[in-house]
């Protein structure tokens, strides 16, 4: 059996204070997970929503996301998008602008500011 590594994060969106805001799960390196596995992870995390970050499918976006509640898949979730891009923005080489594709369509993401003062804008 081959072992895979995914990164799972718990993020409170829309706040700078722990244990407030809107909690969301964020799973990086989700390529290769089946829908059943994503649903099982979302159920285990037991947040209202969990974002699964995947590689892009083509050149019209540079990140892809799927969103799951503990019961079903959602087309788009705002606070989980903010949480996911907060996690992605912590990388030293993170782009300031991204285009995210999900089942509901494509949105533009902009990282504003830096460090603890950064914010995530979704258009």
pTM: 0.93
pLDDT of residue 1: 57
Pairing of β 22-28 and β 63-68: unpaired
Domain boundaries, the chain: 7-122
- Per-residue pLDDT tens for 58-85? 999 999 999 999 999 999 999 999 999 9
The whole-number average pLDDT for the span 33-51 is 97
pLDDT of residue 14: 93
- Would you identify the CATH topology of the domain 7-122? Diaminopimelate Epimerase; Chain A, domain 1 (3.10.310)
């Amino acid at each position: 059996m081959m072992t895979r590594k995914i990164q799972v994060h718990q993020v409170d969106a829309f706040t700078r204070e722990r244990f407030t805001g809107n909690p969301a799960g964020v799973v990086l390196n989700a390529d290769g997970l089946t829908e059943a596995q994503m649903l099982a992870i979302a159920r285990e995390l037991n947040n209202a929503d969990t974002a699964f970050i995947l590689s892009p499918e083509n050149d019209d976006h540079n990140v892809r996301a799927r969103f799951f509640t503990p019961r079903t898949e959602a087309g788009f979730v705002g606070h989980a998008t903010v949480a996911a891009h907060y996690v992605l923005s912590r990388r030293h080489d993170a782009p300031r602008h991204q285009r995210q594709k999900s089942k509901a369509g494509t949105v533009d993401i902009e990282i504003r500011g830096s460090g603890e003062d950064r914010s995530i804008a979704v258009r």
